[in-house]
Structure 1
Amino acid sequence: MLSFWVVATAITLMVAAILIRAVLKGTKREVESRAASDVAVYRAQLDEVDRDVARGVVAKADAERVHAEIARRLIAADKAQSAEQATSARAPAFVALAVIGVAVLGSVLSYLWLGAPGYGDMALKDRIAFAEEVRLNRPKQEVAEASLPPFVEPIDIDPRYQELLTQLRNTVAQRKDDVQGHVLLAQQERRIGNYIAAKEAQQRALTLKGGDVTAQDLADLGEMQVVAAGGYVSPEAEMSLRAALNKDSQNGAARYYLGLMLAQTGRPDQAFRIWDSLLRAGPEDAAWIPPILGQIEELARLAGVSYSIPAIGGSTERGPTAADVANAQDMTPAERMEMIGSMVEGLSERLATDGGPATDWARLISSLGVLGESQRAAAIHANAVDVFADDKDALELINAAGRRAGVID
């Protein structure tokens, strides 16, 4: 890092020296040319008067008057020359300082704005490895919570509501195995902004539910962990979100916050794909749509994607569903081809032109397997693996579809 600044400083000073030399040289020539011209003219006129007197062309009395006038002008020109030289000496110095100041300040500010002080240029592989290191070593939930100001209950809370909330807290404290009590407490604590207490109540509720925990329960816990950490997706929150997606890969809240985690840990490319698919899937009134709209254009810029926000919920034709594929197996070959074929072709064309989330690629691979088009399924599987090479979750979906289609072991 030190060597970079040494080289940058040396280059800046060299450029500044060249510019200063050019300014000084150009100004000196301009001043000398103008001053020398005036003085040379008057001196030539004096010599001419002396020659006229010697030839008898001009009387001595007239020559003396002319000589005095020219001498007066010569003295004035000489004084003007001295003043111009002094002024021109100051001007280049000011210009030189301005050049140095602008060059140094402009270079530093440009680098601080466009560059990354402290880091060298990294290849894509190195950036991905660095992002993974950041993800694995980021602060834990408790550290993030401890960095925030302690909760203070709102002063404008309704007295009756405050009384009921106090009763609920006391009841839950006495009945530690009351699942519904903890769920209700989590909701009410969140309502007044006591996010850490809400998260703890939700965690207790999930512990009590055991094997009955749903994907939405886990997504709610992950969301409460993120909010309790001030919008930061901790390793603990990531675990909750991934657990939710293991139960329901299409859970919108879990996908949104997982995308947020990827954006926070240096993978805007993966975050962009997740958020873009959420926008396309909709619906418009989903809670995650407004925050995505507020961030996805900047995220696309960081991901190096030229992007225009699509119609929210516009991708309604997502291709054949799992139910469609299952029902098709009970049809005659002709009926199955007629129903699935058109949907598969539409999905294939859309993915080829516009792209789409990993779930759509997986659905297409599975559908082609049902239709017996193994070679085509294998080709699309290979393409999907290239598209989502850096997304472990997406690769798991795509490879699972490949195994169902019989194109990989």
Structure 2
Amino acid sequence: MADLTTFWILTLGLAFLVAALLALALVRARSGAEPAAAYDLQVYRDQLKEIDRDLARGLINAGDAERIRAEVSRRILAADAQVQAETEGQGQPRLPGLVMAAVSAVVLVIGSALLYLEIGAPGYGDLALADRLEMAEIARSERPSQQAAEDSLPPQPSLEQLSPDFVALMERLRDTVAGRPDDLQGQILLAQNEARSGNFRAAYEAQSQVLRLKGDAVEARDYTDYADMMILAAGGYVSPEAETALARALELDPENGPARYYTGLMMGQIGRPDQAFGIWRQLLVEGPGDAPWIEPIRLQIEEMAARAGVTNFSLPQATPAAPGPSQEDVEAAEQMSDEDRMAMIEGMVAGLSDRLATEGGPPEDWARLIGSLGVLGREADAIAIYNNALEVFDGEPTAIGVIRDGARQAGLIP
């Protein structure tokens, strides 16, 4: 606190000193500058001396000398009067100069202080790159643990939207898994459903059992699920424990998108926005545009670029969402017979299915396809697409929740 007070005293003192010098330059009398008439006056006085010398040498007669001396004297009086007029009141500052000096002082002192508060960091010196890197490493090594981060969060509201049936099923699932702690499938289901219910601490605790039970068969997405649940439990904060899980996922799969996204998020949190920006920009370039991590990156990368000092970054245009039926299509369908309408729906479903099979798509499109197949009575196809979607989005709890909603609408799951 004392150092910060000293800093502001010195800063404001220097600002006032500069403002005072500027004001003095604006209002002080121009004592060092003589008027032009003063030069003429000196010339005329020299001419008087020259007349006397010419008369003494006999170059001019007394009558001419007197006449020339009278003319020069007249000019001396006129020049002297002009000098007096120009210097009169010169030492008194004029009102415009005073106003300009006051405005300049206010702008300089207050403006510089406000500008520093906006773009500066009071209390911190101009750190060298090595010092900044060292501070980032210290922040990384000394940041709060997962438990400390969770304890610092306010109590989370209960999820009232959960149906009584789901709550009852969760209680049964918890009791079953508690009685069979080595049941891998049970732990997987428990972790996924605890995450769906918003109970992320219980979710990552169950996922830790999944990691234990899988042993050498563990995959990168198992670790990213574990880290994702911990990060959600900590309110978006990447703890050292989550970082360890992310590092393990990247060891198994260096191209893992969720692990790379969260690693970038962590870099931003510890004071390395340059690293975060580099990771996120590369993920944007690689795509795909419908990957779950792309939209969060698009929402944050411009701020991260600014923090990293990148001024020429331009956010690339987002990949447009898959088009749905137009109003004309809906109106046309209303005029069709039942057979024609079903044929049109079949065609749209087939087109969506082909696109997802060849190009992929967001989880919302997969859920829409599953629901449409259920409406058409093609339950076997809906189940096949549902299982395929679970494999495509394995390790992404949010996407899995969207897929399950589509399956629930199709009547595949309760």
Answer yes or no: same fold by TM over 0.5. Answer: yes
Question: RCO greater where, 1 or 2, for CA within 8 Å and sep 6 or more?
Answer: 2
CA distance in structure 2 between the aligned counterparts of 1:197 and 1:102, rounded to whole angstroms: 58
Tell me, yes or no, if structure 1 residue 17 matches structure 2 residue 23.
no
1:300-351 alpha-carbon deviations (Å, 9 max, x no partner): 23323322234779xxxxxxxxxxxxxxxxxxxxxxxxxxxxxxxxxxxxxx
Alignment equivalent of 1:309, drawn from 308, 311, 315: 315
CA distance in structure 2 between the aligned counterparts of 1:245 and 1:284, rounded to whole angstroms: 21
Q: Would you say how many aligned residue pairs link Structure 1 and Structure 2? A: 251
Alignment equivalent of 2:194, drawn from 183, 189, 196: 189
TM-score by length of 2: 0.55
Bigger CA radius of gyration: 2
Contact 2:7 2:123 in 1 (8 A): no
TM-score by length of 1: 0.56
- Counterparts in 2 of 1:242-391, with a 5 A limit? 242-305=247-310, 306-310=312-316
CA distance in structure 1 between the aligned counterparts of 2:105 and 2:313, rounded to whole angstroms: 40
Classify 1:101/1:199 alpha carbon distance in 2 versus 1 (closer, same or farther; 3 Å): farther
RMSD value, Cα = 2.9
1:212-255 alpha-carbon deviations (Å, 9 max, x no partner): 21111001111111111111111110000000000010110001
The alpha carbon displacement at 1:118 in A equals 1.6
Look up the match of 2:152: 147
Classify 1:219/1:280 alpha carbon distance in 2 versus 1 (closer, same or farther; 3 Å): same
Look up the match of 1:4: 7
Alignment equivalent of 1:137, drawn from 125, 142, 146: 142
Contact 1:131 1:267 in 2 (8 A): yes
* Counterpart AA for 1:128: L
- For structure 1, which runs of at least 5 residues remain unmatched after alignment? 27-87, 314-409
CA distance in structure 2 between the aligned counterparts of 1:10 and 1:239, rounded to whole angstroms: 49
- Counterparts in 2 of 1:153-164, with a 5 A limit? 153-164=158-169
* Counterpart AA for 2:189: L
Look up the match of 2:403: none
- For structure 2, which runs of at least 5 residues remain unmatched after alignment? 30-94, 320-414
Contact 1:269 1:303 in 2 (8 A): yes
* Counterpart AA for 2:171: T
Alignment equivalent of 2:235, drawn from 230, 251, 262: 230
CA distance in structure 1 between the aligned counterparts of 2:248 and 2:207, rounded to whole angstroms: 15
* Counterpart AA for 1:295: Q
Classify 1:150/1:200 alpha carbon distance in 2 versus 1 (closer, same or farther; 3 Å): farther
The alpha carbon displacement at 1:112 in A equals 1.6
Contact 1:153 1:192 in 2 (8 A): no
The alpha carbon displacement at 1:144 in A equals 0.4
Look up the match of 1:371: none
Classify 1:205/1:105 alpha carbon distance in 2 versus 1 (closer, same or farther; 3 Å): same
Contact 1:169 1:185 in 2 (8 A): yes
Look up the match of 1:390: none
The alpha carbon displacement at 1:106 in A equals 2.6
The alpha carbon displacement at 1:280 in A equals 1.3
Contact 1:144 1:232 in 2 (8 A): yes
CA distance in structure 1 between the aligned counterparts of 2:179 and 2:110, rounded to whole angstroms: 65
* Counterpart AA for 1:7: L
CA distance in structure 2 between the aligned counterparts of 1:120 and 1:216, rounded to whole angstroms: 43
Look up the match of 2:177: 172
Contact 1:241 1:258 in 2 (8 A): yes
* Counterpart AA for 1:307: F
Q: Percentage identity across aligned positions?
A: 51
* Counterpart AA for 2:275: Q
Tell me, yes or no, if structure 1 residue 215 matches structure 2 residue 211.
no
